[in-house]
Structure 1
């Protein structure tokens, strides 16, 4: 073979091999089900989108059964969110550029009161790579105090090490469903990559007592909203609704985003996905006018002296498919602000329903558990002032 053509063939192969080496994941030891490395899993900068404000978060939830060494059995539902935000407006009086890191969670112990925490920290932009892996085919996120981290990939599993207050989570999530995507440009630019169903294993410490996980369903996603036109992306929308409902055979994932003109009930973006839990395959996807949303029992909630509303239940319908969720055990998160205390972000109502949430598909009715999020932007609250 001509040496010139031999070099042409070998060089691309060498580059592919080097890329595979440089993409090695931190601390991943468990085989997963995804066949290839996925560069959508790692972190992003605002400059990747030419954005004036970019946010991204990695979200993990779980509905877990626990057993202690003494045989005590408990059930715990939880969600954990780890956030990274970038904007040219994040700087201090010395004109140092900052990145923003946030983490928040909600706990739903069976038969007990819910609890939550919201923490925000600004990091010098030059140091952000000490805490987040960018443009890599895996998650590598460590909160600055070092007690909360999320790392790994769909290929090998996502490891959540999270210690705060009276809870410690040491969990590995193994996705068992196809990767699905929600994406829109209106009313806000966002993309969400979802591994909507999988199993969790590991241990949980509650109030100083360690429990092993004996059975657990989980959900994971990586979401990136951004804006090129506004100081913050929240100003482009009224809010959104998201739900994940799991029964014996099925799982549904709904994303609905409300534009400023939609108010509390209408949605500019609607997308509903139905998954076969046993095979991990998508059965059907519905969008736009195929999806109808009926929210009942609207409740007024006062936030920073202003009234906002949230529904206490939701019914979502599409051809051959109906789901119903009640907003039980609600965690309310409304602590977002800039370093100077200016309001920023959203008010988030995250509910968990442990049973009797329903999926009816082609006449087959099943009951299960559900996470249901209803978010209203702070911009809606403060724009009336």
Structure 2
């Protein structure tokens, strides 16, 4: 029976406990498992780095939500990215990344993977011709964010998948900003989906985690091997918290989107704001593509101040209900200055973000309270 997203979020991988009938999966806080004779594991459980029932429940749920065959849960989004790179690439390979990628992703490629022998080229992923020009004979991956962090650019996943596969490479889509409720990249042709589950999937700013979801068995087996070999897996309590957050993802995302649409419209009409970056606005260059591949436009809003860098910093400092903090995707609203915070690692590089930029993670509070706070911060 085909089930809706909301039903899968609550039930996929989460059958009542067969022994006690508990309706919520238990936290299996164990490192090892008794075996029925030498090599006689019970359902494959031998050591929790390899497999843990709480983590397995989360992984099954993530796979169902993304429409994939296998999900993998990691200790952080960066752990998921690093494991994927070492699974699918080797020294001498090349990767195309967004020219406005998340700062942590850029740091991984430029400071870590480059030392390992992996080369990369930054391209404007919203422009297929730009991506085509960046491809080389050694390109193994096109690494896509859509929407991007923090400029909220939109890439056409289907078009990129066609180009990437024609070239014999794989398309990886970081779906953190959209969440699987708003966008399902595997159904649009992507090969791998990446998440920082710290963000919308966890949703309450109380857990750090990451995930990979794939839809083919060969890639899944390769990731499983490297996940076990490298060991940066999610612990059972973190997996349990993320699974609990995922249950309410749909209702939270609807509220995030409702509030973000109001915030974007308010900012677009404010004299202190030079421009608003939100794919839900018809003036956004990626609006039509976003409308085609997303259910709605998300809870992230970025904007640039007409008076420049100092004004952007002042707005961040003056906000009261919007908490000045890194990360995003929680129930509470956050504000940050990407140039000096989340994207400081990209300073001086081709991926440097504008210093007059402010990024909002719009929470699920009463939207009128959020607008009043922004109004006084911009005054």
Using structure 2 for the length normalisation, give the TM-score.
0.28
Structure with the larger helix share: 2
Using structure 1 for the length normalisation, give the TM-score.
0.27
Structure with the larger strand share: 1
Answer 1 or 2: higher relative contact order, Cα 8 Å, separation at least 6: 2
